[in-house]
Structure 1
Amino acid sequence: MITHKKVTIFFISLLLFLFLLKADKGINELWFLVAILAWLAINIYGTARISSNYIVKAFCNNPLEKEKKIALTFDDGPSIYTLEVLELLKKYNVKATFFCIGKKIEKHPEILQKVIDDGHLVGNHSYSHSKFFDFYTEATIREELQKTDALLEKFTSKKINFFRPPYGVTTPSIGRALKITGHNVIGWNIRSLDGGTKNQELIFNRIIKRVCPGGIVLLHDTASHSVLVLEQFLQFLQQNNYKVTSVEELLNLKAYEN
């Protein structure tokens, strides 16, 4: 497996080798540029793709699952649309996991309480979900995680184990913070892109083409078009004999600790 540590060691060794060659044989400096660009490309890909496990281990699906079982997850709430999502999940007798933003918990504590009361799981999705989250220091990231944990634990009365990085990006700073907080990173392998487009047909077709046993679906509980797609998707799952199970059961991981 390609990891940030292995890549860093390799390219440091490569650059040292190139320096020796330059000193001995005077090689073209273009080789240094090629090496640096290659290093940058690998790092950009690894940090941006949560399933790469480049920085931290992320649980994105259960590849060993053979039965028609998947898990539903929702990001960026709680919001007023979370209530509509909860009604649909209740209608189809489905449980899900909600990855919550700390500042939105402060804004809608009563909605988060309903999420808990309805029997759904919750996880940490940072406090601010800032566009600059990936550039934060380890200390700032740790502070965000701990602050959001504290908010969630008022409702669960248990320690939060699940964390989903904003935008699915992982960095060395995030990795160092997670070594201290001890969260399990929960990713996905079925991304709806409902956070980037309102085209319901496009979102729906994208999801159903990717449905597979052991999959984890990423949706958002922050907009009306996502709610409409969710109902179509729940109908599709029902018609195709898919069972929606919890992330806990699918991955055999605990969402909380006493």
Structure 2
Amino acid sequence: MLAVLAASSVVSWFWLLLPCFIWLVIAVAGSGLVQSGYHIKTLYKKKGATVKEIAITFDDGPTPETEKVLELLSRYNAKATFFCIGSQIEKYPEVLQKTLNEGHTVGNHTYSHSTKLSLFPVNKTVEDITLTDSFIIKYSNKKPLLFRPPFGVTSPRIAKALRLTGHYVIGWNVRSLDAVTEDETKIFNRIKRGIAPGSIILLHDTSQKTVNVLEQLLLLLQQQGYKAVTVDALLDIPAYEK
């Protein structure tokens, strides 16, 4: 019908295709911006916060760098949330155990951290998530309820899988870009501009540059009277299944 209208010049192709193009742009942007909540509700900051508390989160660990992060957090009496990859837990179980022992929250960041997760069948995504849950349960005796999608990408399939697993989806409102930026000053300044009560900061416990930036950040938070707490404490939600 649309083709007939366009061919008869009643309606131009531009106006017929424009709604489809707009929908496509929105869908792509919504899939790539986890804080949009386009496919599934996402918690990315504490709205209306006035108390000077923020949550520092780390993705992609555990790694050898995680131990340096833990040392800094302890020195500044700060707590954080670590979204761990299942395959990394297999490599560094002792680091995960130390993270838990020091009172930090551990969340699920899938087992595979695949760039193709959005294309997985729902049952495969559920298996990927629950496998990581099983590793965290092994060392904490508690099922994690916090989940962060790899790369912050969601999709209808991922959303359906998460509704089955019952996880909270945790995003961020301050993205450091430490995974793609080498300049520590740029990383730190980007974080500094976004700091406000209720913020959730995204970092990665995978490199020395992030460790260096973290020390600057913790010092700044101390100077400005901020307290770094876990995501569950900030948002007042459970971190683990009771």
The TM tier, using the shorter chain, reads over 0.9
Tell me the equivalent position of 2:14: 30
CA contact (8 A) 2:31 2:38 kept: yes
- 1:29 is displaced (CA, Å) by 3.2
Alignment-mate amino acid for residue 201 of structure 2? V
Match of 1:83 in 2: 67
User: What is the Cα deviation at residue 137 of structure 1?
Assistant: 2.0
What TM-score does the superposition give when structure 1 sets the normalisation length? 0.89
Output the amino acid matched with 1:72: I
What CA distance in whole angstroms lies between the structure 1 residues aligned with 2:21 and 2:120?
24
Partner of residue 13, structure 1: none
Q: Secondary structure at the match of 1:159?
A: coil
Aligned to 1:60: 44
Distance 1:23 1:176, change over 3 A: farther
Displacement of 1:31 in angstroms is 3.0
2:117–2:158 CA contact under 8 A, matched in 1: no
2:143–2:240 CA contact under 8 A, matched in 1: yes
Rounded to whole Å, the distance in 2 between the matches of 1:19 and 1:93 is: 65
| Residues in 2 aligned to 1:82 and 1:201: alpha-carbon distance in whole angstroms | 21
Greater alpha carbon shift after TM alignment, 27-36 vs 155-164: 27-36
Q: Give the Å deviation of 1:97.
A: 0.6
Give me the TM-score of the superposition, normalised by structure 2: 0.95
Moved more, 21-30 or 120-129: 21-30
Matched, 1:124 2:108: yes
Deviation digits for residues 208-253 of structure 1 (CA, Å, limit 9, x no counterpart): 0100000011111000000000000000000111111221121010
Superposed displacement of residue 32, structure 1: 3.2
Q: Is the 8 A contact 2:80 2:105 kept in 1?
A: yes
Establish whether residue 101 from structure 1 lines up as the match of residue 85 from structure 2. yes
Matched, 1:144 2:128: yes
Quote the residue 1:247 is aligned against: 231
Amino acid at match of 2:126: R
Output the amino acid matched with 1:175. A
Alpha-carbon distance, 1:139 to partner: 1.6
Amino acid across the alignment from 2:35: S
* Aligned equivalents of 1:86, 1:154: Cα separation in 2: 21
Q: What residue number does 1:221 align with?
A: 205
Q: Does 1:201 align with 2:201?
A: no
* Structure 2 unmatched ranges of 5 or more: none
Deviation at 1:98, TM superposition (A): 0.3
Tell me the distance in 1 between the aligned counterparts of 2:116 and 2:19.
27
1:174 pairs with one of 158, 162, 180: 158
Q: Distance in 2 between matches of 1:97 and 1:30?
A: 48
SS of equivalent to 1:127: coil
Please tell me the residue identity of whatever aligns with 1:224: Q
SS across alignment from 1:257? coil
Instruction: Give the total of aligned pairs.
Output: 242
Cα separation, 2, equivalents of 1:107 and 1:134:
25
Question: How far apart, in 2, do the equivalents of 1:68 and 1:61 lie?
Answer: 13
Q: Name structure 1 gaps, 5 residues minimum.
A: 1-15
Q: Secondary structure at the match of 2:60?
A: strand
Shift of 1:22: 6.3
* Cα distance in structure 2, aligned partners of 1:156 and 1:25: 67
Shift of 1:23: 10
